[in-house]
Structure 1
Amino acid sequence: MTFKVLLIDDEPGALEGMQLWIDWPGIGFEVCGTGSNGVEGLKLIKELQPDLVVTDVNMPLMNGLEMIASWQEEQTRGVRFVILSGYSEFEYAQRALRYGVNHYLLKPIIPEEAEKELAEIHKVLVQEKEEQSLNQIASYEEIVSGIKTMLQGQPSDPAAASLLGRVSEIRERWNFCLVQTEADAFAELRGQAAALLYQEEAMYLIDLDMNRFGIVYGQSGSKDGEQASCRMLWELVRLYAGQRVFIVTGEEAGDLLQIGHSYRTAKAAMIYKFYDTAYDRIFRYEQISKGPLNYHYDQLQLVERITLAVTLLDQEALQEAIHSAARSFREMLIAPEIVKKAVIHIMCRIMEYVEKTSETKPGQLFGKYELPGLSDSVYILSDLMELLLACGTEGIELLAKEQSKQSQGVVQEVNDYIREHFRERLTLKKLGEIFYMHPAYLGQLLLKKNGLSFNELIHDLRIEEAARLLEQSELKNSEIAERVGYSHYGQFFKQFEARMRMSPNEYKKRSTMF
């Protein structure tokens, strides 16, 4: 354990000698600064906060004993002093005993003797530090225990109430910061918070349930005091960057004994954090400007709309349905637990349908999206909707892949059917009903397989048949048009001319010439 030492002497050579001749690191000290008189020494003690001050007695402006007396009158923090004196100044050493200074070194300094004396002081400082730490830990635990008792609504015993009353006086205002994390990240994030708050004054970490912990913190009326507590909370936000963590604060209380109110308002703010747009910021109770949460929502239409989009392999419709649902949730301020139940139900429907109609392994999607823990997870609305979109998109991709496999053999059957029935009023919708396929998807398959659209294929087959009949029969053109499937002669004429580059009559005349 290393302690800071401040050296004060008006003789530059003496200062340099103390720094060079004494093995400060070897006996557990580091020199944090030097001064040349008592006035400068007081200023340096305040700025550098040393654990030990080694000072000469006889100095200009203010001697060493006057400096020690002045510091002890202020009583701002405990500092040990060692005085330097020669044999002729021994009476100064005797006077120093009245100030509680019982360590002195004779000039000129003998390094071995000085190091031995300073090593003893180091042992005493270590012992004091350990005792101080134990006392701080005991006091900290008592304060935390008393706060938890109040949060649970239990009456505090007089001793605990008295302790909290004394703690309350060190700050003018108190508040509760509530932190919620994912279950698998709780231990690590809680540890980071504990390390950050270690030995911070007026800040106490409170363990709660449901992957939550709290930070009770005080703020003073000064700007510096307020900035200190805010700085610690924002440092926590910085530490948790990239994690799904909710950090909220309640309404301030003027007394630590009223911290229960801050806790309850922080819990209320935690619910509304669901509708925030980012994780990496602190949500305050004062930001709740909307009305009460709505716990009634008819999810049937939403479920049907999204599952239909998936079954039809319609990615655009899926995105629109989810974006519309998100807007509806936000506008109606639906309670997060209701939204999560709706999302879980929809995802279950998607997964069940995909597993039933494809070769997806049972439980594959359920395991990937961890539905059992979703109700207690830490999600803002936008990310929850993105999770639902990802599930629906993956469902569509798996179904499309499965249909692609199955359709390879079906397309030939469809083409055979079209060639046999092209003379009839044939549509993609009718073909879809016959072969149990969505019309749009079937049209895409036929285009990919044949290199031309369904309608173009029908017209080609009809005109090909019409040309054969014009060559081989005495039927009228209108009769041929009707026989190959056209109800209007004008349509037949248009399609024939487009494909054969001549009219039906011109084609018939040309056929008779050869």
Structure 2
Amino acid sequence: MKSILLVDDDPHIIRALREHIDWAALDLHVAGTAASGTEALELFYHLQPDLLMTDVYLPDLNGLELTQKLRGDYPNLPIIILSGYDEFENARAAMRWGVSHFLLKPAEVDEITNVLQEVMLEYDVRERHEQLELTYRQEVGRMLPYLRKQFMKELLTTRYRPEQLSHERMDYIGIEHRDQVRAVSLQLNRPKFVTRMKERDWQLLRYGAADIIRENAALYAQQHVHGQVELVDYSDRVFVLVLLEQHSALDRLYVLLERMIEQIFTYLKIEVSAGIGMCKPHLCELMDSYLESCEALENAEFQGGSRMYCYEHDMLEQSPVPDHSAALRQWHDAWNDMRTDAALDIWHTLRVQLESGNCLLQDVQVVAVSLFDTLIHSWNRRYPRLQPPLSMSEFLRDIQSKYALTELTNWMDELIGHWLEHIQREQAEKKSNRLVAQVKQYVEQHYAEEISFEAIARSLYVHPKYLSQLFKRMTGENFVSYLNQYRIEQALALLESGQYMVYEVSEMTGFRNATYFSQVFKMVTGKSPSDVVR
């Protein structure tokens, strides 16, 4: 319930207002009354009422002067002027001090009530607006950083026109106006010991890496006043730095990235590859810089961890060192699709390049590690419960003992051949399991019919003799025994239901001869079908 202060030097007016206005119906109560402006001012600051109704002509301090003094501290206070003099100057002065309700004495009770209702409605509307504005400011304060990140992420993959990125829009979400923009892609190279960790452990490391990147980016932005750095959480392994600067300098950027990479490796033991896109003159071209950073990142990824590649330097300038990144990407794709023949061809071509090119042993070791990294990831993805033919730790130990280029490539050739043998063996085992499962499924669907094992073999495009041997090796029994066992299990359930005669169950489970059915039933269960029926 709101409160009102009544001010008038006429006690009869005060009493009339108290007694004849239905304050409760207006959701109001009279907080107090005053007979002079000075008394009203003191009482107002003491009681802090929500509304004020005052006469104009008061002792000491008139109603307009009282209004003027209160307006400084309470600009939105609803004030109703009640005056016995119909003077235009008073009304004009009242309006100048924000008084929109001016009543002339003697005013009817209904007239006063209507004004009070209008004031209360205005009060309620203003409160609602204030609450909405407060809620909006709070929500915007929480949402703006998120909106900025989402918009930045959108800029990486959506091509905008310059007029779509107005200054007003950028100011609203907190993106500064700069002459140059650049994207840097940072990829976390998930360490081998983490591949077997729970997802929670990886996410914890990833969070730590993001924190290091964010802290260094914030420090970089503070040191360079004319710059803004935004971090975009792009995927599970990739973060993108968006730099908006007045004057971009690669040497400063290299220092920033080196510090990030070094700290992440020191504290988290995670290698980071960085791809640096070229500077662009407008935010709408950020997508181009991002795509360049991705292309540079691919080279960094295939050349080993903790490397930085700049599109405008490392990609556009020819390097005397042979680049095997294309072959390594093809190798990676072939194993992803399990095209083992294509993978073997890629290795043979790459081996010739390594042995005939101007390569240092260390460069070939880096290539070998990339080749094996693809092998181990492919194995873990397809056979997560099986140990790989060679672990990463064993591989790294053995590669250190190869001191000559030919010795290293011969060893890799044997390793890849050995790996392919294991893959083929696992694939054959998987195929065998699938064939046996298909035979069992056929029995489940057709046990009530006359079954020909030769027909099953033909439907699976394998020789009956091979399928028979495979079935016995995988299940430990021949096909006829399995078929009879399955049919008797179904027959037993039918007999126990009590709904069918023995000869009916015999036919329903694929036995055309009731005597033979009884013999097989007793051999499998140790009792006759009639014993089950009783």
TM-score class, shorter: 0.3 to 0.5
- TM-score, normalization: structure 1? 0.32
- TM-score, normalization: structure 2? 0.31
